[in-house]
Amino acid sequence: MKDIIIKPNSLLLSGDKVFFSLQGEGISIGKPAVFLRLHLCNLKCSFCDTPYTWDRKDKRFYTEPERWSIEKIAKEIEKYHCHRLVITGGEPLLQREALIQLIDRLEPNHLATSWQTNWFFEIETNGTLPPFKIEEMGRRFIQYNVSPKLANSDNPKLLRYKPKILKQYNEERYNSVFKFVVIQPDDLIEIGKIVAECDLDKNKIILMPEGTTQEKVAKHGRAVVELCKKEGWQLIPRLQVLLWGNKRSK
């Protein structure tokens, strides 16, 4: 694929495209969900388990993605009769305008009310791009699973850490959680600094052990148990690793 660019009225999907599974991470862990995996990312994390969405040295980056129309994506999602959609990547908010079109196609704004919504939308983001404006989303339920990247990701701090944007996600009007991937003890010091500097709500903090094997996830998880108890933070596993190991959805 030569034209790796963003275009209106369509989305660039990775090789995984649309699939039905269980949410493996975050506050809705274990719940059935339809997943939409998008192509492209503005970061390059060393531990990324989907490098084919951004790594131009990986031949899958060029051979697997497809550009689908909003209507084609919506029809594929609706096949599963599940109203929880997890939009992941890559970094989904790079294609924000088309995402708004997709959400509007699945649940038109006039159908979302303050007391009832048919869809639960989850957007998995690295926290370097701002959320949708409230007026764009109306009363639809949008859950932002924000995963700020630490030094362990090997991304330059200037690119991976955007305090003003994290503070925006932390505002009461946004449904959000902050998920930090932990590998080593030094990560805990960095997480503490970010939480303090951005004044993040401790009830929104989730720690997730890095690892593509059950052994690594358990090892990294044990290292942060006491901190979670002390700070009141939540510790979650990577359910997909516990169930399937390091396997792709397809």
Lowest mean pLDDT among 96-110, 127-141, 214-228: 214-228
**How many percent of the chain have pLDDT more than 70?**
90
Global pTM reads 0.90
Confidence of residue 1 (pLDDT cuts 50, 70, 90): very low
> pLDDT category, 18, cuts 50, 70, 90?
very high
- For the chain, the residue count is 250
Q: Does residue 82 have a pLDDT over 50?
A: yes
Measured distance CA(209)–CA(238) in Å, rounded: 8
Structural element, H or E, at residue 193 = helix 185-198
Backbone angles phi, psi at 130, to 5 degrees: -70, 160
pLDDT of the residue at 151:
94
Q: What tokens were used for 225?
A: 């148990």
| In the predicted structure, residue 244 carries a pLDDT above the cut 70 | no
DSSP states along 122-149: EEEE-SSSPPPPHHHHTT-EEEEEE---
Considering only CA atoms, give the Rg of the chain: 18
Q: Which two tokens stand for residue 86?
A: 């997890």
CA 207 to chain centre: 14
Torsion sign over Cα 182, 141, 15, 23? positive
pLDDT class of 248 with cuts at 50, 70, 90: low
Average model confidence (pLDDT) across the chain: 89
> Which of helix, strand or coil describes residue 60?
helix
Domains, the chain, with CATH or none = 10-179 (3.20.20.70)
Average pLDDT over residues 191-199: 96
- pLDDT tens track for 111-125: 766 666 789 999 999
Q: How many CA atoms lie less than 13 Å away from 233 in the CB half-sphere?
A: 25
- Looking at residue 129, its amino acid is L
